Amino acid sequence: MTRRRKRLIAAAVALPLVTYLVRAGCVRFNRESVQANTLVGRTEGEVRRSYGQPDEDWSGYHPLALDVPRTLPPGPIRTLVFAPRGLLHPEGGTLWVWVAERDGEWVCFESCWFADGVVY
C-alpha cells in the first residue's frame, strides 16, 4: 500500500471521528443546561425509539425537585427517567418524561432534560 493511500484511509477514518467529537462538544457548550417540555405530545413509543429503555419507570407523578404542577391530567400517569448516552446522544444528561394515558396510548404531557452537573 502506498504512502498516499495510507494517508487517504487515515483521513477517511479520522474525519468522521473528529466531526463527531466537535459536534459533541458543540452540543454540550451551545445548548441550554435545562430544556423543558420539548417532548410534549410525543407518544411513549416515539420517546423510547429515540432514547431507548428508561432507567426508571414509576407509576404516578414523581416530581423533579419539589415542583409539582397545580393540575395534572386525569387518569393514569407514569414517570419515566432516561440517561441518554451513545452516538445519537453525545450531550448526555438526564431526561424525565411524564406520560398520561390517552385513548389507550401513553402521551407525554411534560418533560425535562438537564445536563450532567445540574443539581435539583
Whether residue 112 contacts residue 57, with contact meaning beta carbons closer than 8 Å, is answered with no
> pTM score > 0.75 for this model?
no
Q: Which residue has the cell 450531550?
A: 91
Position 2 scores a pLDDT of 82
The CATH class given to the 32-114 domain equals: alpha beta
pLDDT confidence band for 28 (50 / 70 / 90): very low
Position 111 scores a pLDDT of 96
C-alpha neighbours within 13 Å on the C-beta side of residue 7: 3
Residue 107 has pLDDT above 60, yes or no: yes
Position 19 scores a pLDDT of 63
Closest CA to 68 of 79, 57, 76, 84: 79
